[in-house]
DNA sequence: GCGTCCAGGTCTACC
DNA sequence: GGTAGACCTGGACGC
């Protein structure tokens, strides 16, 4: 029994994109935990980042990205034709995720002023991996709050596996706001295992899907950072920690985004393990101005790359 | 296997 | 503005 289900005919194409001289592929991939949350997948051995992209017309494309010399190498696979327009969109989305076109010269110039941060410019550190959409970054950030990393991984895996669109031989796409808005709170609790975060995720998705909240424009917002921070904080489920870190993915580094792990690292590095208040930490980084959140993050994760 | 405790941010109510 | 308690899950631990 069981009928024959034909496998879709897959089309494969390769792209090669030039990179700026200060770009470091692996440092960007491993800039924080996002590379291990689906639809991202990381292959440490082959130093490859994979990602299922959903293009504007709905086409799904699996991309395997690596770096050779000064170029980004992309192998793209899809069930549909990968036209010139689609190739352009794949390139745009990937460069945006990897922050390739973000100018870090101001940050590196600032780093050179401080003895403790002079190690940063030669390493090319500073770019933080982000998702193709602000929505995905915000949902994932809510899933990092008040839980272990393994639970975050489970929630995101459920989101892509249950509500995302399937693709041959891998993870599903990240669900669009409408997909998340189309289920109930109890469904999110039971199947995504998001617990008390479920009403927050549902409300966010419903507001976006219903056109009442526009968050994709945050990446190009002309608002001063403090004002943008207040806007981000107005989303239920996003507190000081989550908003501070979402801002980093929007290219603003004025907030520290402290969580228990970062605090612990700070105590280790600066206070011989002794706990201090958040105000003390904020005071420490205040002299570094608009880059303070990035200095803090690179400082506490420095050992990851050594 | 079961029960208890704890860690992890955010929200709301209250002072 | 500051604080306490509730929210939910998974892991650690003791029995």
Q: What is the pLDDT of residue A230?
A: 94
Looking across all nucleic acid strands, the nucleotide with the smallest C1' to CA distance from residue A242 is B9
Same domain as A165, residue A230: yes
Instruction: Give the CATH number, domain containing residue A217.
Output: 1.10.340.30
Average pLDDT of the segment spanning A273-296: 94
Please report whether residue A115 resides in a domain.
Answer: no
Same domain as A239, residue A148: yes
Looking across all nucleic acid strands, the nucleotide with the smallest C1' to CA distance from residue A199 is C7
- Say whether pLDDT at A5 is over 90: no
Same domain as A176, residue A232: yes
- Say whether pLDDT at A2 is over 50: no
Please report whether residue A129 resides in a domain.
Answer: no
- Say whether pLDDT at A115 is over 90: yes
**How many CA within 13 A on the CB side of residue A123?**
20
CA A306 – CA A287 distance, rounded (Å): 26
- Say whether pLDDT at A141 is over 90: yes
Task: Give the strands of the sheet with A40-43, arranged side by side.
Answer: A11-18, A71-78, A60-68, A48-54, A40-43
Same domain as A241, residue A280: no
Same domain as A279, residue A198: no
Cα A232 to chain centroid, rounded: 16
CA–C1' distance A19–C9 (Å)?
42
Please report whether residue A46 resides in a domain.
Answer: yes
Average pLDDT of the segment spanning A32-52: 96
Please report whether residue A126 resides in a domain.
Answer: no
Q: What is the pLDDT of residue A1?
A: 41
Q: What is the pLDDT of residue A156?
A: 96
Q: What is the pLDDT of residue A4?
A: 57
- In which band, very low, low, confident or very high, does the pLDDT at A80 lie, cut at 50, 70 and 90? confident
**Strand B footprint at Cβ < 7 Å?**
A 145-148, 196, 200, 233, 235-243, 259-261, 264
Closest CA to A63 of A96, A31, A33: A96
Same domain as A230, residue A269: no
Same domain as A187, residue A267: no
Chain B positions under 7 Å from a protein CB?
7-12
- Stated pTM of the model: 0.95
Please report whether residue A17 resides in a domain.
Answer: yes
**How many CA within 13 A on the CB side of residue A92?**
10
Average pLDDT of the segment spanning A68-85: 93
Q: What is the pLDDT of residue A305?
A: 83
The pLDDT tens digits for A232-271 are: 999 999 999 999 999 999 999 999 999 999 999 999 999 9
- Say whether pLDDT at A8 is over 70: no
Q: What is the pLDDT of residue A117?
A: 97
Same domain as A279, residue A194: no
Range of the domain at A301: 260-305
Same domain as A213, residue A152: yes
Same domain as A147, residue A245: yes
- Say whether pLDDT at A170 is over 80: no
8 Å CB contact between A191 and A126: no
Same domain as A276, residue A178: no
CA–C1' distance A275–C4 (Å)?
21
Average pLDDT of the segment spanning A113-123: 96
Average pLDDT of the segment spanning A218-231: 96
CA A172 – CA A60 distance, rounded (Å): 9
CA–C1' distance A150–C10 (Å)?
9
Instruction: Give the CATH number, domain containing residue A42.
Output: 3.30.310
Please report whether residue A111 resides in a domain.
Answer: no
Looking across all nucleic acid strands, the nucleotide with the smallest C1' to CA distance from residue A244 is B9
Tokens for A53, please give them: 């992209």
Please report whether residue A45 resides in a domain.
Answer: yes
The pLDDT tens digits for A175-216 are: 999 999 999 999 999 999 999 999 999 999 999 999 999 999
With the CA atoms of A153, A33, A198 and A171 taken in that order, what torsion angle do they form, in degrees rounded to the nearest 10? -50
What's the mean pLDDT when you consider all of chain A?
94
Chain C positions under 7 Å from a protein CB?
7-11
Same domain as A284, residue A197: no
Q: Which residue is nearest to nucleotide C7 (CA to C1')?
A: A196
- Say whether pLDDT at A6 is over 60: no
Please report whether residue A118 resides in a domain.
Answer: no
Number of domains in chain A: 3
- In which band, very low, low, confident or very high, does the pLDDT at A85 lie, cut at 50, 70 and 90? very high
**Strand C footprint at Cβ < 7 Å?**
A 146-148, 150-151, 154, 189, 193, 195-196
């Amino acid at each position: 029994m069981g009928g024959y289900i034909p496998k879709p005919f897959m089309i494969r194409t390769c792209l090669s994109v030039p990179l700026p001289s200060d770009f470091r592929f692996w440092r960007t991939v491993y800039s924080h935990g996002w590379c291990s949350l689906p639809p991202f997948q990381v292959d440490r051995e082959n130093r490859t980042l994979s990602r299922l992209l959903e293009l504007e017309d709905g086409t799904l494309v699996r991309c395997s990205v690596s770096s050779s010399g000064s170029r980004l190498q992309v192998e793209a696979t899809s069930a549909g034709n990968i036209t010139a327009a689609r190739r352009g969109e794949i390139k745009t989305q990937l460069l945006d995720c990897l922050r390739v076109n973000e100018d870090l010269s101001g940050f590196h110039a600032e780093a050179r002023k401080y003895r403790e941060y002079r190690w940063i410019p030669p390493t090319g550190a500073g770019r933080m991996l982000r998702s193709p959409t602000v929505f995905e970054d915000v949902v994932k950030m809510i899933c990092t709050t008040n839980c272990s990393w393994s639970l975050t991984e489970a929630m995101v895996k459920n989101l892509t596996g249950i509500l995302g669109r399937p693709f041959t031989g891998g993870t599903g796409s990240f669900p669009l706001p409408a997909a998340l808005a189309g289920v109930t709170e109890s469904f999110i609790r039971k199947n995504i295992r998001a617990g008390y975060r479920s009403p927050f995720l549902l409300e966010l998705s419903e507001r976006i899907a219903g056109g009442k909240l526009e968050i994709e424009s945050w990446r190009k917002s002309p608002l001063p950072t403090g004002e943008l921070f207040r806007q981000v904080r107005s989303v239920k489920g996003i507190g000081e920690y989550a908003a501070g870190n979402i801002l980093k993915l929007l290219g603003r580094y004025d907030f520290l985004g402290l969580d228990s792990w970062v605090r612990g690292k700070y105590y280790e590095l600066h206070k011989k393990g002794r706990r201090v208040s958040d105000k003390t930490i904020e005071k420490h980084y205040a002299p570094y101005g608009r880059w303070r959140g990035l200095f803090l993050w690179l400082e506490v994760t420095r050992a990851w790359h050594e």
